[in-house]
Amino acid sequence: MSLLVVDVSQHNGNINWPSVARNVDAAIIRVGYRGYGAAGTLSVDAKFKTNIEAALRAKIPVGVYWCSQALSDAEAKQEAEYVAGLLKPYDI
């Protein structure tokens, strides 16, 4: 069995989710990423909230991903906790 799943982020611009819903089985949405350099700032994808809420309204099964740049166990844990907090409002 194969499924058609789209991977989306801010780089895809504005998405017509009702149209997408008619053509895919699920969506994987980028939550965010850790920036480069010494600061390693945790950043939410600029379209995360818009994309996840619109996909869920369109009744598309949703998964998420985080682009990790963790350089230690502590950073990986920080990223995981950050993502978990961002996902709390959503039933996925």
Quote the mean pLDDT of the chain.
95
Length of the chain: 92
Q: What is the pLDDT of residue 92?
A: 87
| Nearest of 42, 59, 49, 57 to residue 8 by alpha carbon | 49
Task: Give the separation between CA 34 and CA 82, rounded to whole angstroms.
Answer: 11
Tell me the two tokens of residue 26.
């699920």
Render pLDDT for 28-68 as a digit per residue (tens, 0 to 9). Answer: 999 999 987 667 899 999 999 999 999 999 999 999 999 99
Pair 41, 69: CB distance under 8 Å: no
Q: What is the pLDDT of residue 39?
A: 75
Calculate mean pLDDT across residues 5-33.
97
